[in-house]
Structure 1
């Protein structure tokens, strides 16, 4: 993945986390992401830095989703 694409993905995930933060029932732990200090607008940062931020952000978003999921979803479509 090119750096520009990674920055774009970083921005999209940041928007998802912002939207989820606005919902009252959504609890996202972004401590790891915040500790990195990398934002989508930090274009001077390296590709590796943005990759770490994307993984931390995606992990924080999906962690809450994993806790909420109580019923198994079938792998096949109806």
Structure 2
């Protein structure tokens, strides 16, 4: 990835972080904050932004993994249910 693409990804993850914080999601982002880098720090190196992306991505993934019944968890469960239904319907039509 190019540096500008990494900064765009970093920006997206930071926006997701801010959204979760406004939703009162209780999570400790001190590891990410200790890096003292944000997407607006365009003068920082590509490697520093990449590291920040991995740290922040790990934080966000752990938040999602904690709540299996979150919006994403429910969406995943519904998609699995729809896949099973369509599979059964397709099999019934082919018989």
| Residue aligned with 2:43, SS | coil
* Uncovered stretches (5+) of structure 1, i.e. residues with no partner: none
Moved over 2 A (4+): 73-77
TM (normalized to structure 2)?
0.71
Q: Is 1:49 aligned with 2:54?
A: no
Matches within 5 A, 1:1-78: 1-24=1-24, 26-69=25-68, 78=83
Give the Å deviation of 1:64.
Answer: 1.4
TM (normalized to structure 1)?
0.85
Please tell me whether Structure 1 or Structure 2 has the larger radius of gyration of its CA atoms.
2
Distance in 1 of aligned mates of 2:28 and 2:15: 15
Structure with the higher helix share, 1 or 2: 2
Coordinate RMSD, CA, aligned: 1.9
Q: 8 Å contact 1:28–1:63 — kept in the other structure?
A: no
Distance in 1 of aligned mates of 2:56 and 2:27: 9
| Matched pairs, number | 76
Q: Which has the higher contact order (CA 8 A, sep 6+)?
A: 1
